[in-house]
Structure 1
């Protein structure tokens, strides 16, 4: 294999590269495979953030392959590819996109001819390995297959999402097969020869390309995996795959062939051609592909050898390497050192800085072999201690250190949410923000993350996956999961972790797809809170394992399945990691809660002067953060203008929109076997918070005698949560700290971000107040490529007008409307309204008819005082949503909630109107006069002969809904 990728240039934001180099641990998922395959030849990864930096680097250094995001700072990938083609025409440039919709827009609006290949990130860290091997195989097929007879597999697929999903699977299975050959090698040269025998994978998009490969390498073609529909003679041919295979079969009857199609009936065509068939829409497509392909490859330990080849020790990880260095003969250390084996092995675990540090010093520079041994042990030990402060450490029962922030139990990926925590840990360490706030402990609360391999083992060992995918009863799935044994190694790890953890715990989901910008899955999976107070460790462990199993079960809940149905992903592609995390707070009587918690966003979707969109917004409430994320009443402020009260046009409005209750954990209640989320959470009134000393820092007092608010609680009167003592008197630098953390997050991700946090001020004497950084995710931002002008519209043509609109573009294909009647709506029966809306949503989704949804109050709020408590999947068919204020109360956009996060990420148009306050307009009379298809006490389903026209300007925040037939 003469052409190898030794230097890869990643042109990506820090966050994008972090997904590849930290999530799932490249050292386990990717580079260990490089070291096993290529032994001493492992690629270097170099990252830059902008196209300009990339071009400068290419002009000065040799680069074998470039991997770029769609947007690379100062230019997009298409522009970068054209410039690379000029300065370095032989350097392949591949694009790794992180969202299918963005990729579609990019390829449709740009000339991508200079890009060698486009791939789509779908949560599998092996994608980078597949991209490297794709480049190498394409470059080496002529020499390795054409001259040396190395076999090849032809893969024909023009759909980016599909080949990005199964190409890593194909390579993984080939590597396992290849490793079994490598293990039989008699010496290093023999092993290298076996390594080079790994079959090539030749990815094609057209009939002509595939046939050219077959004609040229026919004698060495190991098999063909082909789609049925792809381009032939320059046009899309619905039977191109059949034509190709018939032509192949005319010359070779013995070649294994797999045909793929989205049409189940095409299985007959495959059978007629003596080919296997894969249904693309199958929930178990990847499993079936793995079953058809050859077996997979693994990775090995560091094996200490003497110069004559004798094995004298073996190390599985860095800790064992340090231990073995103290035991093995010095001659073995010197031999490995002279060949840079330590450096290569460490590079396979993404320990790049340490690998380069060891490589820089030769064995000859030491006075003796024992000095070499001592120096290696010291360098490795010092590095391990420093590294473990900022990375996710693998959990080891014999060396568990409860002072470290994040541990991984089991292998596999961390999942999206935990990946965000790991990234936050890194940002906090690199920016040293704690040094600027010396009186505050700013940290990610201590946590153990149960990796996705444990999830896979749990499902496989107990044969639960098929049941979970097919079963339509959440209760049955949960019962089966709870009854199934938990993997023993993870069980024992959790027991050790729990033995040294006395605080309450949050058991949080962290799915592979969770917290991505365009499908965040916010609030879709379960979180459970455990008091963790039982005197018996065994009982606490049982409660913890049960909670983990329930989180696993929520992966297959009807809500999750419904949400996944709106995305391009299959349920089998989702894997669940679980975060077991200390809850930030203090015990106060039988309650446990922080002083306050909230959500901060770097982008304010609804700024009002003097606030600006880019200055962000914070939603915060006393007690646990569920108040904010569930859409209940909370306090909002801009971190740039903390003294400006948002939505406070009158004292009546301030009082009406103030927090009256808060969430806390009930420490007196033992967890029970149930699927109800938040069993141990209770709603408490503000009097309890005042008794516990919490309100002094976050409340003001209302005096009805003079209709005024006074900061603090030093006088009698009604307590109002205003955060005035903190924001005005700077008792705690909340606004300043959040402003800086948001800036750090934006810089690190190259995108707007949202963070969840909790603050505990009432701490024991001698301890610092704690700012717990609970989560960070990139924010979904709607595309505003189309400059859309709303223009003048006659009032008689309007169904709705709003100056508070989220979304951009024209929608002219909706004829169905679900509307909650403002005149009949009863807040005390909001759950009935939610159920009726969910029923109609399911009906319209079944007919594939998106619709306009109009309601009063806040959609998705669990507080009946504020709105209608629907879950996201219960209104997922709505293309546009309108929230209207009540007759007696205004509604504010629900920024900071899980519901709002899903709404923005799914590109749903969102109108807010308060006609009673002169903010927008809805023609309720016209809606009431329309003849319904169905009507209940509170909800009406309307269908019009012609479509409504909806126009939204993302630039101005304006929007209108026009009646059918109106001239828009």
Structure 2
């Protein structure tokens, strides 16, 4: 039987509940038909809609109904004909009690609208009701002027409307009330609903924020009223697994006849079919007490003045309401009181065996979870009974594991409110404060939700995909800090960065967060990244990434020292808003700095500790658009940059491995041994775990170490991501071998399927771009284990918004006669209109490829002048730029042409070379955003109007190269998705230059 649990786990447990899909049928508009006296009393005693609204508010309920009151059937007909009414309540009429007459008239004219009759209680009315056909009305209630009854009526009808759907959708529970006495159920229902709704407010605290708390209340147990034996049995047969408990009278109709023992018979049958179902009998005939208790039912005396209190106490103990109390089965003394799910998780292993056995055998734990709307765990535990699993300790472990899984499932994709008594190692994402999460914070929450809504992320065996554990200090904490310390005057001044930083570090954070931070330390037990998350960062409409600071601090056993470091880091991030570069960027982007507000992300650093260093096996940046596709690559397939160690190495422009997720085995940098030795990573970043103190610098990398790949080899961190260069055989072998230089090739995860990185990158890219409805850039990090398992963490998502890459015009619509050159095979994306210079190779009848080495020297000399002036130019020439074979093109190296903003390869009639696609300079092209065009006029693939340049005077001319300058900037446009590129020039400008 022990093998059964894991199978049932997947079947039941992993199905989450969406509370927003519950209670979808509501009563919004109520028509009350009352005589003038009752209408006046409703008004004078406090408007009924105001009282109901207040009751809804006090109980945390949403969508209170609105009420319309009329006094006659004529008025009622007019309202019903012109307004959407969900419920009609007919209240007592005149002396002849025409409430029933009015109600029948409503049903004749509007048969589909639910109608309830409220009648006063008297002997005469009782006699009349006995002779009335009440079947056409939903319910008849006894009216004693208590507006709580109206709330109960609305809830009872809503429960009935939603019962079947909500049970099918989520496994919602119900309390079955079997009672035919109008007077009694009119009295008990308001008290029953008051208790259940108050309890639902309590269990809503299991929710992670106020929004989900409100939604969780939709999962409260429903109340179902049955008035005959057959009606009650029908509910039991239809929903046998969803009855939380039964409260039954003893005398009510069975087989169409009043039966004085119908309740005993009904509960006996229920007990036979469901031995653990809580059964409560209530009766005014005290002789039924002994009968009920003899059969094992709890008894409530209707005549008791504290009947409602007795009922609540019995429901709390047997239906799972209130706290879960573990008792000694012999003495019935309380052993442990459990108030919430986390307390159950924390205490499950410390409860004595005999108590555990007692409560498990009676399904108390499962029922308590049901009453708190924790359906997935409850549903699962129902299937793992002691009859199937005769091992109390294993049962404890299953309960513990189920709670952990459930809490993880509910945490993912939800921004919880941080609570010290709830945040632990199984918590995920929480906020401190009520302000904004900021740009990065919103991006993280969005990523978390993407992971939750796409379960395919976590379908790879041995791989966990998530965001790191995160707490966000919202922007209102920033406001409080700035105001309390009077920092705005200095912050907005022209004071040096260091002065601003020191002033911020000396300022005080609110003391109220000290215990929160210490709780966070205990929960993550990892180094912490303190990241900026301003309102403007990662904006959908403007570039604003990498402007503010991110600091990291090591994890220490000394929590007070760690607290001092954390406080200094938070204040340093706040200060970075007002550093010189930030202010300059604000001005450049036309933002107002005093409107900027900063949230701060506290997040576990992904990685492992190696001695005094801490870093992940690799980090990366993924873009859903590839503006430099090579070979079989397509722009829409995206591109990733991978690097050993912390991702700061990538952001700082370090040597990374460029790979397309769709072509992981075709990596340019590892396609040739010489390129691999020259263009793969030789250094990486790691957090210095020894650097302790509050001496924070303006440079947020002050405690980041730059190490050599050899250090990672010594740490044992290169497994599956490195190859070994064999100098003797001059070959690179996949894997780690003694001796030989280690090449960071990532071949284990890209070529040999050690870890499903390409698949994870594709999922991240497509789900991220689809969810954001635009191209995205995603940062990630990964830890790999020796057993080929690992954790893949998504760290940040932002839309690709680069002012230099905004192309708002279809370049295919621009006519050729406006262009200096056009390419149908280009790399790069964006617009540039700040270049006036073109350097091109003279290709007259005297051109010969044998001169290419000399051409390289002449171009290098011109390039140096541009570097000295800090300017850029367009470079055009035949063949492959950078070819090592001078017969195929000009053999320049990158430093010789590094000031070129656009490089163009052309063909001649007698000199046609296959295009290189800029592979020789590819890393530099992508790093610096340089365009690379290929034009093959022999095949009609674009054109180059060299005659325009030939007609212009030269700024400089050598035997093989000309440099010309336009008086107005050239307009360079590149469409990286279509591989189309062109350069627009003002031909009149060229003529003017010629004339001069």
Give the TM-score, by structure 2 length. 0.51
Deviation readout 1:263-313 (Å, 9 max, x if unpaired): xxxxxxxxxxxxxxxxxxxxxxxxxxxxxxxxxxxxxxxxxx9979xxxxx
Indicate whether 1:638 and 2:657 are aligned.
Answer: no
Question: Per the alignment, in what secondary structure is the counterpart of residue 416 of structure 1?
Answer: helix
CA RMSD, Structure 1 to Structure 2 (Å): 5.5
Compute the displacement of 1:640 (Å).
0.9
Q: What is the aligned partner in structure 2 of residue 776 from structure 1?
A: 797
Alpha-carbon distance change, 502 to 348 in structure 1, aligned in 2, over 3 angstroms: closer
Compute the displacement of 1:732 (Å).
1.4
Question: Which runs of structure 2 are paired with 1:628-777 in the superposition (5 Å)?
Answer: 628-646=650-668, 650-671=672-693, 672-704=695-727, 707-714=730-737, 716-762=739-785, 768-777=789-798
Q: List runs of 5+ in structure 1 lacking aligned partners.
A: 1-26, 28-43, 47-56, 65-184, 194-304, 309-328, 838-850, 858-864, 871-877, 901-909, 932-941
Alpha-carbon distance change, 348 to 421 in structure 1, aligned in 2, over 3 angstroms: closer
Alpha-carbon distance change, 952 to 471 in structure 1, aligned in 2, over 3 angstroms: same
Q: Return the alpha-carbon distance in structure 2 between the equivalents of residues 719 and 63 of structure 1.
A: 70
Q: Return the alpha-carbon distance in structure 2 between the equivalents of residues 700 and 928 of structure 1.
A: 54
Deviation readout 1:193-218 (Å, 9 max, x if unpaired): 9xxxxxxxxxxxxxxxxxxxxxxxxx
Q: Is the 8 A contact 1:802 1:921 kept in 2?
A: no
Q: Is the 8 A contact 1:338 1:362 kept in 2?
A: no
Compute the displacement of 1:746 (Å).
2.8
Q: Return the alpha-carbon distance in structure 2 between the equivalents of residues 360 and 568 of structure 1.
A: 56
Q: Return the alpha-carbon distance in structure 2 between the equivalents of residues 597 and 772 of structure 1.
A: 9
Question: Per the alignment, in what secondary structure is the counterpart of residue 465 of structure 2?
Answer: strand
Deviation readout 1:552-590 (Å, 9 max, x if unpaired): 111222222222334354323322111111111111122
Question: Which runs of structure 2 are paired with 1:244-393 in the superposition (5 Å)?
Answer: 334-335=193-194, 349=211, 351=213, 353-358=215-220, 367=246, 370=312, 378=369, 379-380=371-372, 382=374, 385=407, 387-393=410-416
Among 914, 923, 927, the residue aligned to 1:892? 923
Alpha-carbon distance change, 398 to 696 in structure 1, aligned in 2, over 3 angstroms: closer
Among 904, 908, 912, the residue aligned to 2:931? 912
Q: What is the aligned partner in structure 2 of residue 410 from structure 1?
A: 433
Alpha-carbon distance change, 552 to 337 in structure 1, aligned in 2, over 3 angstroms: same
Q: What is the aligned partner in structure 2 of residue 622 from structure 1?
A: 644
Deviation readout 1:306-357 (Å, 9 max, x if unpaired): 979xxxxxxxxxxxxxxxxxxxx99777348679996999997255643443
Q: How many residues align?
A: 600
Question: Per the alignment, in what secondary structure is the counterpart of residue 793 of structure 2?
Answer: strand
Q: Return the alpha-carbon distance in structure 2 between the equivalents of residues 537 and 748 of structure 1.
A: 40
Q: Return the alpha-carbon distance in structure 2 between the equivalents of residues 593 and 354 of structure 1.
A: 40
Compute the displacement of 1:914 (Å).
9.4
Q: Return the alpha-carbon distance in structure 1 between the equivalents of residues 197 and 734 of structure 2.
A: 71
Deviation readout 1:417-444 (Å, 9 max, x if unpaired): 1222222222223322354112122221
Alpha-carbon distance change, 618 to 340 in structure 1, aligned in 2, over 3 angstroms: same
Q: What is the aligned partner in structure 2 of residue 274 from structure 1?
A: none
Alpha-carbon distance change, 546 to 612 in structure 1, aligned in 2, over 3 angstroms: same
Q: Is the 8 A contact 2:51 2:147 kept in 1?
A: no
Question: Per the alignment, in what secondary structure is the counterpart of residue 689 of structure 1?
Answer: helix
Compute the displacement of 1:615 (Å).
1.3
Q: Return the alpha-carbon distance in structure 2 between the equivalents of residues 867 and 565 of structure 1.
A: 33
Compute the displacement of 1:592 (Å).
1.3
Among 507, 526, 531, the residue aligned to 1:503? 526
Q: What is the aligned partner in structure 2 of residue 398 from structure 1?
A: 421
Alpha-carbon distance change, 947 to 675 in structure 1, aligned in 2, over 3 angstroms: closer
Question: Per the alignment, in what secondary structure is the counterpart of residue 755 of structure 1?
Answer: strand
Alpha-carbon distance change, 884 to 788 in structure 1, aligned in 2, over 3 angstroms: closer
Indicate whether 1:597 and 2:619 are aligned.
Answer: yes
Q: What is the aligned partner in structure 2 of residue 150 from structure 1?
A: none
Alpha-carbon distance change, 567 to 616 in structure 1, aligned in 2, over 3 angstroms: same
Worse overlay, 499-508 or 330-339? 330-339
Q: Return the alpha-carbon distance in structure 2 between the equivalents of residues 353 and 967 of structure 1.
A: 72
Q: Return the alpha-carbon distance in structure 2 between the equivalents of residues 922 and 585 of structure 1.
A: 55
Alpha-carbon distance change, 187 to 822 in structure 1, aligned in 2, over 3 angstroms: farther
Compute the displacement of 1:360 (Å).
6.4
Q: Is the 8 A contact 2:826 2:933 kept in 1?
A: no
Q: Is the 8 A contact 1:525 1:554 kept in 2?
A: yes
Among 477, 487, 500, the residue aligned to 1:454? 477
Among 561, 569, 593, the residue aligned to 1:547? 569
Q: Is the 8 A contact 2:837 2:874 kept in 1?
A: no
Q: Return the alpha-carbon distance in structure 2 between the equivalents of residues 921 and 787 of structure 1.
A: 16
Q: Return the alpha-carbon distance in structure 2 between the equivalents of residues 855 and 452 of structure 1.
A: 49
Compute the displacement of 1:668 (Å).
2.3
Q: Is the 8 A contact 1:801 1:960 kept in 2?
A: no
Alpha-carbon distance change, 660 to 953 in structure 1, aligned in 2, over 3 angstroms: same
Among 560, 585, 600, the residue aligned to 2:607? 585
Alpha-carbon distance change, 866 to 628 in structure 1, aligned in 2, over 3 angstroms: farther
Q: Is the 8 A contact 2:509 2:567 kept in 1?
A: yes
Question: Per the alignment, in what secondary structure is the counterpart of residue 463 of structure 1?
Answer: coil
Q: Is the 8 A contact 1:782 1:807 kept in 2?
A: yes
Compute the displacement of 1:481 (Å).
0.9
Q: Is the 8 A contact 2:423 2:523 kept in 1?
A: no
Q: What is the aligned partner in structure 2 of residue 786 from structure 1?
A: 810
Q: Return the alpha-carbon distance in structure 2 between the equivalents of residues 715 and 658 of structure 1.
A: 20
Q: Indicate the structure (1 or 2) with the bigger Cα radius of gyration.
A: 2
Indicate whether 1:523 and 2:523 are aligned.
Answer: no
Compute the displacement of 1:543 (Å).
0.7
Alpha-carbon distance change, 356 to 721 in structure 1, aligned in 2, over 3 angstroms: same
Alpha-carbon distance change, 650 to 540 in structure 1, aligned in 2, over 3 angstroms: same
Indicate whether 1:426 and 2:449 are aligned.
Answer: yes
Question: Per the alignment, in what secondary structure is the counterpart of residue 697 of structure 1?
Answer: coil
Q: What is the aligned partner in structure 1 of residue 890 from structure 2?
A: none
Q: Return the alpha-carbon distance in structure 2 between the equivalents of residues 696 and 513 of structure 1.
A: 39
Q: Return the alpha-carbon distance in structure 2 between the equivalents of residues 529 and 338 of structure 1.
A: 46
Q: What is the aligned partner in structure 1 of residue 392 from structure 2?
A: none
Question: Per the alignment, in what secondary structure is the counterpart of residue 751 of structure 2?
Answer: helix
Q: Return the alpha-carbon distance in structure 2 between the equivalents of residues 566 and 758 of structure 1.
A: 32
Q: Return the alpha-carbon distance in structure 2 between the equivalents of residues 567 and 684 of structure 1.
A: 36
Q: Is the 8 A contact 2:620 2:641 kept in 1?
A: yes
Question: Per the alignment, in what secondary structure is the counterpart of residue 525 of structure 1?
Answer: coil
Alpha-carbon distance change, 817 to 778 in structure 1, aligned in 2, over 3 angstroms: same
Q: Is the 8 A contact 1:806 1:957 kept in 2?
A: no
Indicate whether 1:563 and 2:582 are aligned.
Answer: no
Question: Per the alignment, in what secondary structure is the counterpart of residue 619 of structure 1?
Answer: strand
Q: What is the aligned partner in structure 2 of residue 538 from structure 1?
A: 560
Compute the displacement of 1:642 (Å).
0.7
